[in-house]
Chains A and B, each alone.
Chain A
Amino acid sequence: MTCAEPLNDTGRLLSGAAPGLAAHRARYGPAPVLGGPGELVALVTAAGLRGRGGSGFPTARKIAAVAAASRRPVVVVNACESEPASAKDATLLRHAPRLVLDGALVAARALGADTVVLCVHRGTPLVGWLRAEVAARTGDGVAWQVAEVPRRYVASEASALTRFLTTGEARPAAKPPRPERRGVRRRPTLVDNAETLAHLALIARYGPGWYRSVGTAGDPGTTLVTVGGAVARPGVYEIALGTPVGAVLARAGGPTAELSATLVGGYAGTWVTDPGTPLTHDPAGRYGATVGAGVLVALPAAACGIAETARILGYLADESAGQCGPCAFGLPAVADDLARLAAGRPDPDLHDRLVRRVGVIAGRGACAHPTGAVRLAGSVRHAFAADVRAHLSGRPCRPHPPVLPLPAPHERDRTWQ
């Protein structure tokens, strides 16, 4: 499944598979020690590192916000990987766990944090693996913890994680205050995706100039992507940011069927029909696709993008924390509209109602879950315009096995504790 790349400009993370801590140290040396929060912020600002969990938020701004708070901070490594189509964080933690831990340690030391919490989904093999890994690390000067988070889509949102680590309830919290100001046990908390911290470990060693030598000016470096669907070699790949969608599909062996579109970003992402669309955290192409959490799923033309999206919206509605009205009521309504459309059973108001609902829900949740879900729903109109027209005229789609993966029922928790 996984492609280990030779060491080159686009194999920074996945080329570094070292068999043990001693070999890792021999290759990279000890984790660098920075002078303090100011040096860390300056370094990460110069590198232009952006978060790999999906939003692409500038990491330096988050770090600066944590550093500006007065209490002793906590560092949280987010390796939950709630995106059902993503495998990049698990792959990274198997290939190069010490890069992730070194990145967290660099940040923790510079910020004066005494605790680093590694968050993974409950019951995954990573739990035991990471426990053994942190037990082998002595003399780091921080307390390493491994926390098992409920396997739910929004339970790994930053404020849900800090709420879980404080109260045991893994549902997103209202902002302000953001976790950077008041997170775990009311302490300022840096929540970063595991991959983000692995990049930070390399930036601390090799410098911002090295980091910027690939990627784009606004979004430098490499990133991990999980490529699935109708491609010859599905798996996790490391690409330069800015690489076009078509080139990434080619890395994965190329399409195995005629494609109608590619889902880009994740289940909060966008359907993309132009293979020339560059993958960065800045919206690109006609419909503003971003690389998000690095998911690409190639959809064969024989499948129906609307039926696929309806199925995913049903999942996303089911995964709502049920706290905010526009999400709790809006997502099931949008999922129902899409299912009626896919079935070719529209009522006269369906099209306008769907457009209205998609337009009114974005930005109105405590977290970005409803915004992401309607982004995916809304992108159907552009990517599958001909299918939308056919379904509106009463034609159902041809049956096709599901393409977009969803977790099996036994891989999903129903609890938030």
Chain B
Amino acid sequence: MAVTAPHLAVDPIACQAHGLCAELLPGVVTLDEWGYPILPAGPVPPALRAAARRAVNACPVLALRLATD
């Protein structure tokens, strides 16, 4: 079974603009002027996967995830 490379996704209802994702993934996740994350389109490069997983685990409201859908 083919495994799709994961991309970052956020549940916009759950997200409360804590901003940890932007701190843990500088240059990858940026914040808009209201503090909500702007995620890159496309798969997370292999070199950044570990950092992306840390950001997912650090999200205080579990809004960030690595999605393969």
Which residues of chain A have a CB within 8 Å of any CB of chain B?
173-174, 176, 323-327, 329-330, 333, 357, 360, 364-366
Contacts and interface: CB of A to CB of B under 8 A. Distances in A.
B69 A326 contact: no
A366 B34 contact: no
Query: B-side binding surface: helix, strand, loop or mixed?
Result: loop
Contact of A174 (B13, B17, B35): B13
A387 B34 CA distance: 29
Interface string B31-62: 01111101000000000000000000000000
Given A326-B32, A326-B36, A365 B12 contact: yes
B69 A325 contact: no
A327 B34 CA distance: 10
Interface residues of B, number: 13
A330 B34 contact: yes
A176 B12 contact: no
Contacts of A329: 34, 36
Nearest to B38: A360
A325 B38 contact: no
Interface of B: 11-15, 17, 32-36, 38, 69
B42 to A, nearest CB: 14
Contact of B12 (A174, A357, A360): A174
Query: A-side binding surface: helix, strand, loop or mixed?
Result: loop
Contacts of A325: 12, 15, 17, 32, 34-36
Contacts of A327: 12
Contacts of B36: 325-326, 329, 364
B32 to A, nearest CB: 5
A329 B38 CA distance: 14
Contact of A366 (B13, B33, B35, B69): B13
A69 to B, nearest CB: 15
Nearest to A323: B13
A324 B34 contact: no
Given A330-B34, A360-B32, A364-B36, A323 B69 contact: no
A272 B36 CA distance: 32
20 contacts: A174-B11, A174-B12, A323-B12, A323-B13, A324-B15, A325-B12, A325-B32, A325-B34, A325-B35, A325-B36, A326-B12, A326-B34, A326-B36, A329-B34, A330-B32, A333-B33, A365-B12, A366-B11, A366-B12, A366-B13
A365 B32 CA distance: 13
Nearest to B17: A325
A324 B36 CA distance: 9
A88 to B, nearest CB: 30
Nearest to A370: B12
Contacts of B12: 174, 323-327, 364-366
A330 B12 CA distance: 13
Contacts of B17: 325
A218 to B, nearest CB: 25
A139 to B, nearest CB: 41
